[in-house]
A and B are shown apart, each in its own frame.
Chain A
């Protein structure tokens, strides 16, 4: 289907649409979305709402930021997602670019977990003291992020 996005109209095949039955925190209206590539980088993606063109997020694969990242999903959330095996789940985390500084962080405490079988997705707040909502991103991922941004703005 052809969908209006933050980047103009984009063709989105039905099979890549993600369904968020509960929305995400603060955005209960986000019910349908999809992941779109961020340039040629593999770890970064846009999460675009398919119902609200101006609602877009940046996501990262958390393992690239925090190699030992382990999402221990609360049972309730695993059941709500109908996950029957860990191999069915894929995870991305939302990226925040601080307005005050140039810090790029990601929310490891509340990942977006996707059931790749049903394509249902859910933002899950982990029961963990190990992860922050603002985990600093550095290294290659940060370089990938900045590549292509015009210098006068950043």
Chain B
């Protein structure tokens, strides 16, 4: 593992496109800012592990359901019979308002 010492406000570049900034240090807690392209997932490592495991379990379970499911539960081969629309959301918190408030 590469270990670097950095001061508050200093940055680290990972590859060409991922930039990490040290925002603040208080006691044993460090706040960091990360700028990265959209193809990069960023989240706390322990949560990522938990979600990876859950996704794997979900895929196994769905495959088992597919085996057990009667024809009625399987999608039609003719697209016209499949409702593939994505429905409108009901509660994504107001992104725009939050941004406005911050500015």
Q: Which residues of A contact B (CB under 8 A)?
A: 5-13, 16, 18, 21-22, 24-27, 34-40, 46, 48, 54-58, 61, 63, 68-73, 75-76, 78-87, 89-91, 94-99, 107, 109-110, 113-114, 116, 119, 122-123, 125, 133-134, 147-150, 153-154
Contacts and interface: CB of A to CB of B under 8 A. Distances in A.
Contact of A149 (B54, B70, B75, B83): B70
Most buried by B among A85, A94, A122: A94
A57 B55 CA distance: 9
Interface of B: 34, 36-44, 47-48, 50-70, 72-79, 82-96, 98-99
B82 A10 contact: yes
A150 B99 CA distance: 50
A46 B67 CA distance: 13
Contacts of A125: 43-44, 47-48, 51
Contact of B78 (A11, A107, A109, A150): A11
Ranked nearest first, the 3 interchain pairs of A and B with the lowest CB-CB distance are A97-B61, A26-B52, A11-B79
B82 A153 contact: no
Contacts, number: 189
13 contacts: A6-B63, A11-B77, A24-B55, A25-B55, A26-B52, A35-B86, A37-B83, A58-B61, A107-B54, A110-B51, A133-B54, A134-B54, A153-B68
Contacts of B53: 26
Contact of B87 (A58, A73, A90): A90
Contacts of B34: 76
A57 B47 CA distance: 20
B46 to A, nearest CB: 10
A9 B101 CA distance: 49
B58 A95 contact: yes
A57 B75 contact: no
Nearest to A114: B86
Contacts of A11: 77-79
A8 to B, nearest CB: 6
A34 B84 contact: yes
Most buried by B among A87, A110, A122: A110
B73 A149 contact: yes
A86 B93 contact: yes
B85 A89 contact: no
A125 B52 CA distance: 11
